Each structure stands twice: as structure tokens, then as C-alpha cells.
Structure 1
């Protein structure tokens, strides 16, 4: 499980948020001030005291949650290392290969692919990209007990990922809408509601090029000599990001694993939906912060806005929105995003 629970805030990110909030015409302070004022009167405290208590309680909860998550990750890594050593020690035929290094050169919290799939065993025989894709899908189906809940996965051709990576580096953040149930406006008319999600790209170290032990394996000549960077995309409700800033919880974490790009021309996409606090405490995967359908639609939005090339209808407009969001905020109109909110 990936342990990414907060965005790294930058002045650019705050500037983008303020730009979108200005276009959305939402005043969050006034929206909740009445409730806070009422609560303060009930407790006989000032509004500032109530706000400070809420902040302190949230800091404590996040710190406790982070410590528990870190401890669990260390236990999982220790168990995996122990199992690998036991397996290596039990083998007596032929030389024992050196264990694959999974430590990161950077401080990335991304779980290495070698901790998810047994890459050494995978590379012992010649597997096609289609076979690896099937294994990737089967693995996540087994992790969710066949329900698919909590995960989404896909296999991305290398050339497609390279296009995504170029656009992601140029436009590392954006906001996308999710359709919600209709609500009534002041006139009593039912109108479609939308919830905006803020996404942010992050790029990490390049994973090492695999060394297959199968002597007849030869990577295709048209593939690069080294792998591209691993990347992650974090998505969280815009309102969540506004209220918690650097402590905002990522509801969906998309990770592009590039370990097999130079050998098989394949990038493995893993999407993890964050479990609710109650589900985590009960060691259950029954409840998540985001539905499976919404997670799939958010991933589709990533493709729509970051793979805008070609003659597909609306492609030029999506690129224009992405560019305006970053470079021409005065021309960015959130209403235009709603044209691309519905599933295809």
C-alpha cells in the first residue's frame, strides 16, 4: 500500500487554488462561519478558540495516523525481506542470485514494484507484455478478493506514458470535476451538481533496468536503453485541499511503474483508493474514501486532459483549459470543465 497522505504545498499550488476559487465564486469562510459561531456559543468560547482546538485535534490525529502507517510499512518490509532470505537459503541448485535492490535513492514514499511483484521470478522466463499485463490484473483481483474494490490497474504502452509524462511535467497540477446527484437551486429547479478534485503530478527516480536471467531474452531493439522516471498522481477533493493544505489526504493515488519499460515496452499503472479511518482501524477494506466508479472516472479525466493530441472531439479545448489553468488564469472558466465531466 502506498503511504502518500499529503501534498507538498508550493506557492504555485496555492496560486492555482486561489485562481480556481475565484472562478468558482465560493467563500468557504462565510459558508461555515455560522456553524462555528453557534458551536462557540454552546461551549462558551470564542470563535478563535474553537478554530484552534479543531486544528490541534486534527494535527494530533494526523500525527498518530502517520506513525501507525509508518510502523505498519516497516513491519511489511521486514516480513518481505525475511521471506526472501528464507526462499534464497532453501535453494541449493545453481548459484543464488543477488537479491534485487528495492531501496530508493530519493526519499520517495512509493512502494517499489519489486515489493509487489516477484520480478526475479518474472524475469526467469520470457514473458510477453500481454502476459505481464494479465498477471498484473490477476494480482489486483486477488488483493481485493475478486471484487476489484480499493484498486484500479492498467497496462500502459511506453509511448503513451512518455506523452503523459511530458504533459505532466509541463502542467503538474489541475482540477477536474466529478458529477454528483442533482440539487435544487434557489428557484427550486434541480440542477446537476459537481465536485472538483485537485490533482498533482510528482516524479521520482528512474528504476534500474532489469537483467533477465533467461539467456535467450532480448529486449526489442526499438526500446530505450534505460527506463523513464516513475511518477505518481495524487487526487483529493479541492475543498479538502483548501481546508487541510499540506495535510490533505489523497483519496486516490495513481502510480506509474516504469521498471519494465526498457525490457517490455510496458508501464504498469496502479491506482489505490484510500481506506476510511474506520476501515483502517478494523483492518478491513470494506470502506473507502472514493467509490470504484469515481476512481475510474478520475483516471479517465487524467487521460482526457493529459493525452489531448489527435483529432478527438474536444481535444483542443481540453488542452486550452489545461494551458489557461497554468498560464492564463483570467481566461480559465470552470464552466468549460463541466463539458468533459460525464463518462464517455
Structure 2
């Protein structure tokens, strides 16, 4: 399996040398403090007026406020735009593969903003809830899987509520993410090569109803082209109607035709959705790193790295 190799950075140890402090330097420090105190005393009345003008009772309160404001501005300036980071990564990979082409997801026409909205489907659209309320959990799972067995380009699952709750807790706080999908590189003569590239996909959660949640997947290139009107290539629906009675959540997914995304691709993306959204828990070092990377992306933290995202998505560690 292809994976990025990380280059270990050599640790640089800096030895600090202690310089003797002369009496002259101490005297200079005392003079500096004297002038600082004198300046504060001189403008104390004006500082107090400014503090009261801004609604504070003392100069110390004004200082604390200004300190918090400065720290807030520093945090803001240290933030990164995660989509800009992804764009930079795509530009780097495109330059590296300028002599070949990748089997990327085909772009589709955008959604029509004027089209009437179709009501979302609930679990009752697929199963008669009044008829299954007396069935066991195993019987409900059998019926749910049978409901999708003969349909093309679909996926389904029955999820224990504990796993679903862990995933939803992170989804509500981090409704947008990106995941990589391995893509085989094709040479100019149309023949497949042994090299493997990565295509980034935009993951978006929508909480459309009290018991219905959607997870939509779109290639990042498609999203950048059409923004909110980008057409998803895969949509997963989670139905929590049976949580109280059966302790399970029913999931079904649909992969759109006429794209380069197949059911196996959707399964791989869904697997990493579970792993990065903490469905398997956060006890192991790898699991903690995945969830932390998700949070770093949402916060725009400089700690977010596309290379690390790819490495963790391909790692076999759970």
C-alpha cells in the first residue's frame, strides 16, 4: 500500500550561555523602571478616564481587557484557511504529475438553485414502522439488509447506538471535513501505471430532521467549482428512529451513476469517516490523532496537514 514517507527533522539543541551581569546593567534596569513608573503616574488620570469611558472601573481592568484582545488577535492571525491548505496541496501534486493524468471523479452539472426542494426520506419511507415495532433487533436488521440487497450502487448497515452517538458528537462539532481517495495514475498513452495519486473529497454533514442525518460526499474539485450547488457523488442517510426500542441506527447510502466513484470507493470513504469521526473510540494513539486532525481542520489550526491526513487514512492502526 502506498503511503507518504515522513522525513524526520533533526533535533537542534541550542546551548544557552549565561553572561555575567554587571552593576552597570542593573543600574540601567532600575532607571528604566523609574521612567516607566513616572510615565504611568503622569498619565494615570488620562488612563483612568479612558478605562471609565470603555466601561471599566480601574486601569488594571483596562490592561486585562487589552491583554485578552491582543491574545485573541494573535490566535486569529495564527489560524489557517484549511481549504487554502488543500488547494496548495493539489497544486503541488498537479505539478508533480504534469506528465500523466489521474482517473479523477468526473465533474457533473451543478444543482439547480431554482429547482423545488424534494422532502428528505425518513425511515418510514423504507420500512413500515408500525409493523416492525414488535420485531427483534436481529429481525429488523435482516429486513433492512434485504430492502437493499437487489439495488445497484447502494450500501446499507445497522449501527449500534453507542458507535453512532460517538460519531454524531464529533459530526455536530465538525460538520465539514476532507478525506483522500487513492487514484491510479494513467500515462499519456492511456495505460495504467504503478503510481498512485490521491483525490481529496469534501465531507459535509446535514442534520435535516430530528431523526434523520445526511453525510454527503463531493470531490473537492467539484465543490470548488460549484460551491454550495455542487452535486454529491455519494449520500449516506442515517435514521435513528429505532434507537429507543431497538438500540440501533439504520444507514443506507447511494452512489450516483456516471461518476468515477464506485461502491468500493464509497466504502473506503465511509470507513475513514468512521475512523476520523471517532466511531471506534479515541483510546489508541492512532484514533486520538485522527480525531485531533479533524478538530484541527475545523479550527483552522496550523497543526492540520494534508500529508498527515493521507498517512492516517492509510494506516492500518485502529
Q: Tell me if TM exceeds 0.5.
A: yes
| Superposition pairs of residues 134-213 of structure 1, within 5 angstroms | 134-142=142-150, 144=151, 149-182=152-185, 191-207=195-211
Instruction: Tell me the CA shift for residue 313 of structure 1.
Output: 5.3
TM-score w.r.t. the length of structure 2 is 0.61
Match of 2:137 in 1: 129
How far, CA to CA, are the matches of 1:64 and 1:275 in structure 2? 21
- 1:302 corresponds to which residue? 273
After superposition, give the CA deviation of every residue in 1:131-188 in whole Å (9 maximum; x if it has no partner). 111111111013x1xxxx311000011111111111001111110001111467xxxx
Question: Which has the larger displacement, 261-270 or 318-327?
Answer: 318-327
Which structure 1 segments of 5+ residues have no match?
1-14, 32-56, 74-108, 208-229, 277-287
Higher Rg? 2
Give the structure 2 partner of residue 88 of structure 1.
none
Q: Which runs of 4+ in 1 moved over 3 A?
A: 22-28, 62-67, 310-313, 340-344
1:210 aligns with none
1:197 aligned counterpart, secondary structure: strand
Q: C-alpha distance in 2, partners of 1:343/1:19?
A: 22
How far apart, CA to CA, are the structure 2 residues paired with 1:66 and 1:135? 34
**Could you state the TM-score of these two structures normalised by the residue count of structure 1?**
0.57
Q: Within 5 Å, which residues of 2 pair with 1:208-219?
A: none
Q: 1:17–1:327: structure 2 CA closer, same or farther, 3 Å change rule?
A: same
Aligned to 1:10: none
Match for residue 311 of structure 1 among 271, 280, 283: 283
The question of whether the paired residues in 1 share the 8 Å contact of 2:184 and 2:194 is answered with: no
- Counterpart contact for 2:113–2:229, Cα < 8 Å: no
Change (3 A) 1:320 1:156: same
Which runs of no fewer than 5 residues in structure 2 stay unpaired? 1-80, 98-107, 188-192
| Most deviating of 292-301 and 304-313 | 304-313
Offset at residue 58 of structure 1 (A) = 5.4
Distance 1:182 1:311, change over 3 A: farther
Question: Does structure 2 conserve the Cα–Cα contact (< 8 Å) formed by 1:176 and 1:197?
Answer: yes
Shift of 1:309: 2.6
Equivalent residues of 2:178, 2:202 under 8 A apart: yes
Q: How far apart, in 2, do the equivalents of 1:334 and 1:156 lie?
A: 29
Distance 1:191 1:27 in 2: 12
Aligned equivalents of 2:217 and 2:156: distance in 1? 16
Aligned residue pairs total 220
**Superposed CA RMSD:** 3.1
Cα distance change of structure 1 residues 333 and 63 upon mapping to structure 2, 3 Å threshold: closer
Kept in 2, the 8 Å contact 1:198–1:235? The answer is yes
Kindly state the Cα deviation for residue 317 of structure 1 after the two structures are TM-superposed. Answer: 1.6
**C-alpha contact 2:166 2:281 (8 A) present in aligned 1:** no
Distance 2:113 2:209 in 1: 29
